[in-house]
A = this chain, B = another copy of it.
Amino acid sequence: VSSTAGEAPRRGYPKGRATRQAIVDSGTAMFARSGYHAASLRDIAAHAGLTTAGVLHHFASKEELFAEVLARRDERVREAAGEAEGDGLLEQLRRVVAFDRNERQLAALVAVASAEATDPEHPAHAAFAERSRDDQRTIRAALDDARRTGLVRADLDLDTAARLIAAVVEGLRMQWLLDPATDMTAAFDEFVRGYLRGPGRGAI
């Protein structure tokens, strides 16, 4: 009755939706800490304040909950990155790095999950491989723009550059996860200064 025009028709009661969200949060924390296999539904349930059966009232299986956790994280990263237009690639990637810094658990979760998904027989293998390609495509598109506005030196191979940027971000994230004192932003900026920009372009 009091619903606004553009609002999506939600399932269940408010309390149910809140619990569902609490389960996703709890799942994120537990999966991030222990990986998919070692995190148990009992732990996740207890951490969210209910029983395993309660969790499975909201999610059909552990795997379904896991998929939801990952989807939610991707969504939030995309929101955090914002639009490429006007801002440029560099600012976008900086925001992603900043997002990681504020969401250590999520970053750890993705690191473990994508490493596990490295196995060609892992159920999420294709999805993670596609995700990796997608990241590189997005970066490549942003590089096209950057070259047009002269922010990137002219003799750069953009496909390889996109691949290297994705690799640096992922590698720095691992270093930071192992040692929180690591300054990801500083290192990334230095990479941009030294690699993407031509000589003589000066400070950022």
Measured CB to CB, the nearest residue on chain B to A182 is: B163
Which B residues touch A164, using CB under 8 A? 168, 172, 187, 190-191
Contact code string A135-174 (vs B, CB < 8 Å = 1, else 0): 0000000000000000000001100100110111111101
Contact (Cβ within 8 A) B195 A119: no
A35 to B163, CA, bound (A): 26
- A167/B175 contact (C-beta < 8 A), A112-B118, A118-B108, A119-B108 known: yes
Let me know if A186 is at the binding interface, CB within 8 A.
yes
Cβ of A14 to closest chain B Cβ, rounded Å: 34
Residues of A within 8 A of B (CB-CB), count:
47
Which B residues touch A163, using CB under 8 A? 172, 175, 182, 187
Copy tally for this chain in the complex stands at 2
A132 to B178, CA, bound (A): 8
A136 to B197, CA, bound (A): 25
Contact (Cβ within 8 A) A116 B121: no
Contact (Cβ within 8 A) A34 B174: no
Cβ of A99 to closest chain B Cβ, rounded Å: 17
Cβ of A151 to closest chain B Cβ, rounded Å: 15
- A114/B178 contact (C-beta < 8 A), A33-B121, A168-B168, A186-B160 known: yes
